[in-house]
Structure 1
Amino acid sequence: MIHDLRLVLPALAAWLTAAVAIGVAPAVSYTLAAAAAVAALVVLAPRRAGTAPRPLIAGAVLACAAASAIGVALRATAVGTGPVPDLARAGRTATAEAVVTGDPQVSRSSRRTITVRARVETVRRTDVRVPVLLIAHDRRWLDLVPSQRVRFAGRFREPRGDRLLAAVALVRGAPSVLSPPSGVQRAAETVRARLRAATDDLPPGQRGVLPAMVVGDTSRIPPDLADDFRTAGLTHLLVVSGANLAIVIGAVVGLCRLAGLGRRRAPPLAALAVCAFVVVARPEPSVLRATVMGVVGLLALFTGRRRQGLPALAAAVLLLVLIDPALARSYGFALSVTATAGLLVLAPPWRDRLARRLPGPLADALAVAAAAQTAVAPILVMLSGEVGVVSVFANLLAAPAVAPATLLGALAAVIAPFWLPPARLLARPAGLAVGWIIGIARVTAELPYATVPWLAGGLGALTLLAAAGAVLLVLRSARMRLLLAALLTGILLAVIALRATAPGWPPPGWRLVACDVGQGDAVVLSAGPGRAVVVDTGPDPGAVDACLDRLRISDVPLLVITHPHADHVDGTPGVRAGRTVRRVLTTPRTSGRAGRLARGVPARPALTGQRWSVGDLTLAVIAPLATGPPLSRADDGSTINNASIVLVARSPGFSALLAGDIEADAQRALAGSVPPVQVLKVPHHGSRSQDARFLAAARASIALISVGRDNDYGHPSPTTLDLLRHLHVRIHRTDREGDIAVIPTSTGIATVSRK
């Protein structure tokens, strides 16, 4: 094992060097590469007889670091020069032609935001070849397939912290398709489309998850189900990874042996299957890592040598990082590699220990699940700021269904392009296996304290590792094990007692709830039993509908749409689903979009100074201060944001300022007319465009930020968070706490989060 770990060090050096070099100027990377190369030459220089042997591992580490740094520097130099980076630095708009290099993805935080990886090849009549990230909102971008050439118009901006990307382009409208996909990509898309057709008769959840498990097609997974998989620690099943590839390779090799092809004939056929699998599943980080490892294993099988897992993993990491340095900063790649490392390093000794007290199959399954989750825990904490408590048990319960679902789904994918009826028959038992996995995800995600809040980012990962080290030290002493068991038992009893006596959701007497609708706003103001005023509806009808169901709202006397941006208006059908909406209030400069979504409901503009009363709830309109021509698509985002309705809501023991998405200019105009309140709904999801005087004038003790997890805009801005902390305001965020309720207390107000 020590020898294997030494072989890992060069790969780790290349990985870490690339991750650092991507974020610095090319000159720094060149300097780093030169220093590492000189040091490697010194270390590996021939020695005279009788002197100490050369430290080969140290030399290999330095040589790999030098190769990684020079590779990043050369790419960054090539990407950072030319017309595209010039456009990005100037923030200009241009028309370009590009080749799509990755599947279009819908943002998790905003269902209307679509990101597309592409390679710009022509801009302003100049031929180039640089990678860009396209951000679009037109749904027609989702129809694109890798290798298609498109023309688009957009505003180019500099990427943040990624010198291997030439620009980020904010695209207007739909793409103009200039060429069809390549023959290989057409065939791959045919397989994916026919597999989707084969699953059409399955329930919605199974219909979305089965193609994801088989070929990595996540286009039909409901957002709430994806969240349940994330909470339960089962997200890895929704992406193609080494487990899928291992199942496919094992099935092909097994069939070859049954057919009598022998040990030397099976690997080439398995390699062909691997190539076809990668094309259909797309070369994502986990697929690439798994492919290289699988090829190494096949070579070992072909040559008759014993396969060694850890060296194979190290070889895969080293090769992939040198070929594509961008993987060094890919969380998907990091999760894939660390999970595999956990299976190779942690699982065997844990399995041996568990086998002394448990049946062999159970010990194997528990060791594998625990090792993988332990290995990826620090990275998951960096991403989410949460520690999964139930993930090991969820994976243990889901494991028996993974192989049947993958094998039957893969067989259906092979048959579907040629003969759909038998593919549909195969999809049904595969769907049953997937249904079991979905059930596990939903049940475990709903368990109390399925996740525990933790520090996010690098500090969170370090503290988690420190806590794990402390636990290992404690477990070495029998007395400390008893004390730890007693402490954990006490905590468990306390949690059970708190859960048993907790008021549930919604908390009694709630006055306001900020719904967790992703990257958008939806605020609910209580107006009596079963009645509420709703301010904005978020980007997703399902999310706001679920929030109102949890609050048991059936009557909406007033629906306020602060401004016609998708993340505030597109959820309107969800508010109307099964409820009575009596009136819609819109900005005087409305584009008419809110009225169209709420057709059949009387709508009127909000006028400054206007007051509304619903039960014991009163609403006062304090903005927009001025009217103008109706908003149109030609208006920029700031113009539309500053046309937002701004409300002051009051009820006994409660007051709040709901500021829509107004930015600094509009805030400065309002700063002198803002009354003091207890709660501030922070404008524009906590963006950087804030006026300190406006925020201070509210004199709020609680700030609510409605924001989507891992959103593409960097909301909330660290500058805004620092400003709110300087004002001694308690900050609550929907991306971390879920639905947030405000309740009056004997000493003021308090918040209760659904999580």
Structure 2
Amino acid sequence: MTATDLRLALPAAGAWVAAILLVGIPGAAGPVAGAAAVAVLASLLGVASALAGGRTVRALEAGILPLVAIAVVALAIALHEPLRQPAVLAGALDTGAPIEVVVALDETVAAVGGSSSATDATVVALRPRPAGVGGGADPELAGGAAPPETESMREVRVPVVLLGFEPAERAALGSRWQGLVRLVPLEAGDDRVALAKPLGALEAAGRPPPLMAGADALRERFLGVASTFPGPGAALLPGLAIGDTSAIDAELDAAMKRSSLSHLTAVSGANCAIVVGLVLGLGALGRWPRAARVGAALVALGGFVVLVTPQASVVRAAVMAAVVLLALATGRGGRGLPVLGAAVLGILVLDPWIARDYGFALSVLATGALLVLSGPLAARLAAVMPRAIALWIAVPLAAQLACQPVLVLLAPELPLMGVVANILAAPAAPVATIVGMAACLIAPALPWLATALAGLAWVPATWIAGTARVTSGLPSATMPWPEGAIGALLLAGLTVGALVAAGVPAPIAGDRLRARAALATTAVLVVIVGATAGADALGRLGRPADWVIAQCDVGQGDAVVVRSAGRVALTDTGAEPDALAACLDELGVGRIDLLVLTHFDADHVGGVEAVVGRVGAALVGPTDGARDEAVLDALVAGGAVVEHVTAGDSGRHGDYGWRALWPPDHRGVSPGNGASLVLEWRSAGECACPSMLALGDLGRDAQESLRASVRIAPVDVVKVSHHGSNDQSAEVYAEARATLGLIGVGADNTYGHPTEEALAMLADSGGAALRSDRLGLVLIAPGTGRVWGAGLGGRSGGGSGAASNGQSGGDSGGGSDGDCAHGAGWRVWTERGAVADPGEVGAAD
């Protein structure tokens, strides 16, 4: 057996760890690079001295390459830092002052109505705004107008996340846009430097380069061809062929993820491998010299990267695919690891901030697994099955084993059907990719032939979509797993133990050690499965089946469900369709009888795709332009009846009655946060229905106007406005006297939500904060005033302080004095942990 060559793999791993640490500590890379360089020189002198004395010092020799790798990557970080944050940008980042920029889009953005809440872009030129211009309290004062041109544009390259970019027409990758923005710095280790919020409409400032523009035209033409076919296969085909996932709905996307087939829905190393492998195969048939075959393959790979858009993830996938194919095509197998190590080092030097990217980690691990594990696994499996079938199983199994410890950091579950789904999809993926890509390339010249080829590619695409839906829908498709670093380390240890027990890589120890490894792995696995799956089962059993209000954990956004008498109402959809779809599936919600869209910001309507076709009626406030109307058009096309609601309107939802308190029925309120649709929910019958006031995203001024226009009556639950920003009216919360405050907020949000001020207002009014970032899914049900939680690892908590009905016997505030919230009581269930006591909410944050 040939020994695995780790000479470059270990230095690459060391440099990777160093990059993960150093990109998060500004200014540390330079000193580390200097220290590593000194250590390298010292080691070289030590080796030279030893050799001069006729001795060898293997420890020093082995340490030189890792030190060199660390020094090179640290130096790269030190050189990149001033380029990512040039001095001319410092003032805008520190003070939030407006700045005029030209940005180049790093991804294609759909026209209005698409998902454009956050777009990767690069600031390629900027002009600092002169001091004193537009520096007032109103950030929108300038209206997007460019500042006086007292300074010329300065060329820079600063990666940012462009917020709220809503072009009137499809904006291609590489196109340039100019306007005034406000920058909000992100954490040092983030691959993007800042959030860029436009202070008005951005104006087109340049088309993409000709090659990229031509590729974009090809992609757009192919999307039109694929859309002529029915079913999920048509939605999946562009993703399989050219990495365009814009047609994939939330349901199909969730199914692909649960079945571990999501790598097929966008460009991955597998897509690149198919392209290069096809060219190498054609070259072999034509008896081309090796140099010609490799050259043609690289040209084809470059063209494929341009076609599917040269984003960082695509370039990374192309590099990894080239590594695998070049290593395996030359019969080097395990010796491909030095090439992989060199590729990793090269990518880290070019973009050190990619070290913290999960996609990068998955690409490296999958590539390494194919090089090191697939062969030994196939050899072990070949003992009990034909060699071809063994290799067919070994490839996805190796990738799954290597990647799963990282994947549990993203979703704490094991896709038990993942290997099976990949085996079933494996024969279809190359056909859909190759034939679909051919259809894309010839679409402008021979549209009839492109349609025919797309029809052929649609068949395997439909097979893959069906495989995803069937395997993801099986009762045991996934198994819960401990979350976080502990869960990843446990799974990694179990994976190593299982491989040792199976003698993979081929026998590294005697039978006794293998037997012990098998026993230990099995015992640990039984304990973990019992603890996690058992706790999950108990948590589900303890979940109140009679819940009436649910707050979904959809990240930085709102999604609140009200259920009564068999009818379901949903207020807002959050930003991501897949997050909302997962929550609704968890709740067993299919039909949405009533959808309430408080306003049209992306974090409130971005997930609407998940419910299109499932909505009976929709209540909406003021709209503002084509983007908002496109949301309503999609709902109407799906069968919904849309009703524009203003203050004073009311209706019935099961045993609940709802009443609109805001916005007023006049044209003086501009669409947006200040015109959020505010509903009051109260019992309209004999039900045990906690009363609720849902404030949308009203700011302090709008809340005060609301308070002046209508009496704020006491309620049990308040949906805290604007995710807990500090732009709140303490008087509104004091009058509402809610015992529970629902706060839809993302764990990694960069806005500081919920703020100490908002939490204090809630606590001062006697309310406990039910934060989705900490508690996950929250359910409120009729009961005796009990709060408890269920989560992985048996995390739970209880207590009656936060759940006791503090308003028993109080004034109902009119309308429904018989509201059960003032008599029957209620209880709360949380997915993760217990609810803080109202008196401790502010301090708990």
TM-score w.r.t. length of structure 1? 0.81
Q: 2:284 aligns with which of 257, 263, 271?
A: 257
Counterpart amino acid of residue 66 in structure 1: A
Q: Is the 8 A contact 2:19 2:74 kept in 1?
A: yes
Q: Closer, same or farther in 2 for the Cα pair 1:419/1:696, shift >3 Å? A: same
- Aligned residue type for 1:144: A
- Using the TM superposition, give the Cα deviation of residue 708 of structure 1 relative to its aligned residue in structure 2, in angstroms: 7.2
> What is aligned with 2:144?
none
The match for 1:476 among 510, 515, 523 is: 515
Q: 5 Å matches for 1:44-55? A: 44-45=44-45, 46-47=48-49, 48-53=52-57, 55=60
Instruction: Report the CA distance shift for 1:487/1:19 in structure 2 as closer, same or farther (over 3 A).
Output: closer
Aligned residues of 1:106 and 1:114 also touching (Cα < 8 A): no
Pair 1:118 & 2:122 matched: yes
Q: Deviations over 1:354-387 (max 9, x none)?
A: 2222332332232222221121122222223433
Structural mapping, 1:270-669, within 5 Å: 270-293=297-320, 308-466=335-493, 468=495, 476-477=515-516, 509-514=546-551, 520-529=557-566, 531-536=567-572, 551=589, 556=594, 561-563=597-599, 565-568=601-604, 581=617, 584=619, 603-606=644-647, 616-619=655-658, 630-632=668-670, 639=674, 645=678, 647=680, 649-650=682-683, 652-662=687-697, 665=700
3-state SS of 1:308 partner: helix
Quickly say closer, same or farther: Cα 1:243–1:91, change in 2 above 3 A. Answer: same
CA offset at residue 22 of structure 1? Answer: 1.6
Q: CA deviation at 1:189?
A: 1.6
Tell me which moved more, 344-353 or 310-319: 344-353
Distance in 2 between residues matched to 1:314 and 1:621, nearest whole Å: 61
The residue that corresponds to 1:749 in the other structure is 827
Compute the RMSD of aligned alpha carbons.
4.9
Q: Residues 190 and 295 (structure 1 numbering): CA distance in 2 closer, same or farther, change over 3 Å?
A: same
Query: What is the one-letter code of the residue matched to 2:9?
Result: V
- Decide whether the 8 Å contact of 1:267 with 1:302 is kept in 2: no
Cα 1:570/1:239, change in 2 over 3 Å: closer
Once the two structures are superposed, the pairs formed by residues 55-134 of structure 1 within 5 Å of their partners are 55-104=60-109, 111-124=115-128, 125-134=152-161
On the 8 A contact 1:148/1:179 being kept in 2, the answer is yes
User: What is the alpha-carbon distance in structure 2 between the residues aligned to residue 509 and residue 225 of structure 1?
Assistant: 29
Q: Which runs of 5+ in 1 are unaligned?
A: none
- 1:240 partnered with 2:318: no
Contact persistence 1:76–1:163 (CA under 8 A): no
Distance 1:141-1:387 versus aligned 2 partners, 3 A rule = farther
The separation in 1 between residues aligned to 2:233 and 2:747, in whole angstroms, is 25
Shift of 1:181: 1.9
Shift of 1:715: 6.7
Aligned CA distance change for structure 1 residues 551 and 489 (closer, same or farther; 3 Å)? closer
* CA spacing shift, 1:324–1:497, aligned 2, 3 Å: closer
Q: How much identity, in percent, do the aligned residues show? A: 32
Q: Distance between the aligned counterparts of 1:205 and 1:604, measured in 2?
A: 35
- 8 Å CA contact retained: 1:515, 1:734: no
- Relative distance call for 1:578 and 1:339 in structure 2 (3 A) is closer
Q: CA 1:725–1:665 in structure 2 vs 1: closer, same or farther (change >3 Å)?
A: closer
- Larger displacement relative to structure 2 (300-309 or 48-57): 300-309
Q: Which region of structure 1 is more displaced relative to structure 2, 465-474 or 184-193?
A: 465-474
Shift in Å, 1:237 = 0.9
CA, structure 1 residues 153+423, in 2 after alignment: closer, same or farther (shift >3 Å)?
Answer: same
Query: How far does residue 318 in structure 1 lie from its aligned partner after superposition?
Result: 0.8
Q: Which amino acid aligns with 1:5?
A: L
- 1:38-49 to 2 correspondences below 5 Å: 38-45=38-45, 46-47=48-49, 48-49=52-53
Task: Report the equivalent of 2:182.
Answer: 155
Tell me which residue corresponds to 1:5.
6
Q: Which among 208, 211, 216 is matched to residue 238 of structure 2?
A: 211
Greater mean deviation of Cα atoms: 721-730 or 654-663: 721-730
Partners of 1:343 and 1:371 within 8 A in 2: yes
My pick for the range that moved more, 742-751 or 154-163, is 742-751
In 1, the alpha carbon distance for the partners of 2:329 and 2:745 equals 53
Residues 320 and 364, structure 2, Cα contact 8 Å, conserved in 1: no
Tell me, yes or no, if the aligned pair for 1:563 and 1:645 is still in contact at 8 Å.
no
Q: CA deviation at 1:277?
A: 1.5
What is the CA-CA distance between 1:417 and the residue it aligns to? Answer: 3.6
Give the Cα–Cα distance (whole angstroms) in 2 for the partners of residues 724 and 20 of structure 1.
Answer: 38
1:77 Cα shift? 1.9
Deviation at 1:44, TM superposition (A): 1.9
For 2:220 and 2:98, locate their aligned partners in 1 and report how far apart those are by CA, in whole Å. Answer: 35
Judging changes above 3 Å, is the alpha-carbon distance between structure 1 residues 144 and 613 closer, same or farther for their aligned structure 2 residues?
closer
Is the CA contact (8 Å cut-off) linking 1:245 and 1:291 kept in structure 2? Answer: yes
Question: 1:37: how far off?
Answer: 1.1
Offset at residue 268 of structure 1 (A): 1.9
Report how many residues are paired. 731
Moved more, 407-416 or 428-437: 407-416
Q: Which region of structure 1 is more displaced relative to structure 2, 55-64 or 537-546?
A: 537-546
Letter in 2 for 1:76: E
Separation (CA, whole Å) in 2 of partners of 1:648 and 1:285:
47
Task: Give the letter for the 1:31 counterpart.
Answer: P
Q: State the AA in 2 paired with 1:744.
A: P
Is 1:101–1:146's contact at 8 Å kept on the other side of the alignment?
yes
Gaps of 5+ in 2: 129-151, 502-513, 787-825, 832-845
Residue 237 of structure 2 is aligned to residue 202 of structure 1: no
Quote the offset at 1:734 in angstroms.
Answer: 9.3
Rounded Cα–Cα distance in structure 2 between residues aligned with 1:24 and 1:275: 35
